[in-house]
Amino acid sequence: MNKNRLSETKIAVLDLAIVRDGGTASDTFKNSLDLAQHVEKWGYNRFWLAEHHNMPGIASSATSILIGHIASGTTTLRVGSGGIMLPNHAPLIVAEQFGTLATLFPNRIDLGLGRAPGTDQFTAAALRRDEHAAMEFPANVQELQMYLSEGNKNGRVRSIPGEGLDIPIWILGSSTDSAYLAASLGLPYAFASHFAPAQLQTAIAIYRNNFKASAYLKEPYVLACVNVIAADSDKEAARLATSFKKLFLGIITGNRQQLKEPVDPDDDFMDPMEEAALQQMIAYTFIGGPEKVKNELEQFLEKTKVDELMIASAVYEHQARLRSYEILGQLKNESL
């Protein structure tokens, strides 16, 4: 096994803008910026925010505004969406928003696109989302590409700003459908293995085997998102992870809540049947001290051979969350 694969792999952050129990959205936004400023110094490559709606524990509903907030407080970090749920929006609006961001922060903005609503069916209806919108996702991606292209300057409908700017578009997926689309369009592919691990390997194989070189990308490029909760000891990481596990269990059961304080993992805080269901959802979750996390991530990278690793870390205590990302940054640099 190549023990230095972590050093050769770019690392990035997925920030879900989680609102912790007893906190506010304002606290979350301050902590998100603080995290971005720290990971920029620790050598992370990019920082993405994800669009969600009607979730008490997630405050990233106005994703493009938050991207501007993070980009304005950093200098070199790439900032973007992981992702914008395109069926919720007119492609022209997305082109204008990200054209504005890319004008304000040149060569630093990423546009990751997903086809899910990022919410429940009632909220999707409130977003004026067409029930057939997901089926139109491929056409909407191409419409968005047209608005951002240099060749649209004679079009009857133009994105100003946006037209002709270098805004990398990524296709996001949690199943195999988007793998085919990303491959056919020659775009980079990001897989949400932090909550949908089952089809990761199949989706990557489909993408790589069907990839067609484009003006945007000559070879396949795969990013995988995983959960990492690192601490100075395995025991402390297991304690911190109880918050994360309760958060994801709420997603499974439909009882969505804010991020709770960690508890002693030996206190039987979760029913065994619930934990079994949870483990299927969070199979690509790496919890532990530096050595354990490094070994497990090396195995994951060897198995998948992804080009970039994106890290989600739902930790209640802000300083502990910073430390988790710091440890991973140190592990990457120590491997050089």
Check residue 90 and give its pLDDT.
93
Tens of pLDDT, residues 260-300: 999 988 776 777 788 888 888 889 999 999 999 999 999 99
Residues in CB range of 291: below 8 A, 6 or more apart? none
- pLDDT per residue over 215-253, tens digit each? 999 999 999 999 999 999 999 999 999 999 988 887 777
pTM of the model: 0.94
Could you tell me which of 217, 210, 204 has the C-alpha nearest to residue 170?
217
> Count H helices, E strands: the chain?
12, 9
Query: Range of 51's domain?
Result: 5-334
Residue 26 has pLDDT above 50, yes or no: yes
Beta carbons within 8 Å of 219's beta carbon, 6+ residues apart: 211, 213
What stretches of the chain adopt beta strand conformation (E)?
10-15, 46-49, 78-85, 109-114, 169-173, 189-191, 222-230, 285-288, 308-312
- Residues 89, 127: Cα–Cα separation, whole Å: 9
CB 16 within 8 A of CB 244: no
CA distance 197 to 251: 15
Give residue-wise pLDDT tens across range 293-329.
999 999 999 999 999 999 999 999 999 999 999 999 9
Question: How much is the mean pLDDT over the chain?
Answer: 92
Place of tokens 């972590």: 6
Average pLDDT over residues 128-144: 85
Q: How confident is the model at residue 125 (pLDDT cuts 50, 70, 90)?
A: confident
Q: Specify the pLDDT at position 247.
A: 87
Q: Which of 103, 32, 53, 30 is nearest to 256 (CA)?
A: 53
Burial of 330 (0-12, 13-18, 19+ CB in 10 A): middle
Q: Provide the β-strand partners of residue 20.
A: 259
pLDDT per residue over 79-102, tens digit each?
999 999 999 999 999 999 999 999
The amino acid at 231:
A
* Tally of structural domains, the chain: 1
3-state SS of 163-210? CCCCCCEEEEECCCHHHHHHHHHCCCEEECCCCCCCCHHHHHHHHHHH
CA 203 distance to own-chain centroid: 17
**CATH at residue 307:** 3.20.20.30
Position 1 pLDDT exceeds 50: no
Distance CA 179, CA 210 (A): 9
Return d(Cα 237, Cα 318) in angstroms, integer: 14
Exposure string of 19-55, with b = 16+ CB inside 10 Å and e = fewer, is: bbeebeeeebbebbbebbebbbebebbbbbbbbbbeb
**Contact status, residue 159 vs residue 148, Cβ threshold 8 Å:** yes
Q: How far are the Cα atoms of 179, 205, 290 from residue 311, in angstroms, in the given order?
A: 20, 22, 15
Reference 312, options 55, 6, 39, 29; nearest CA is 39
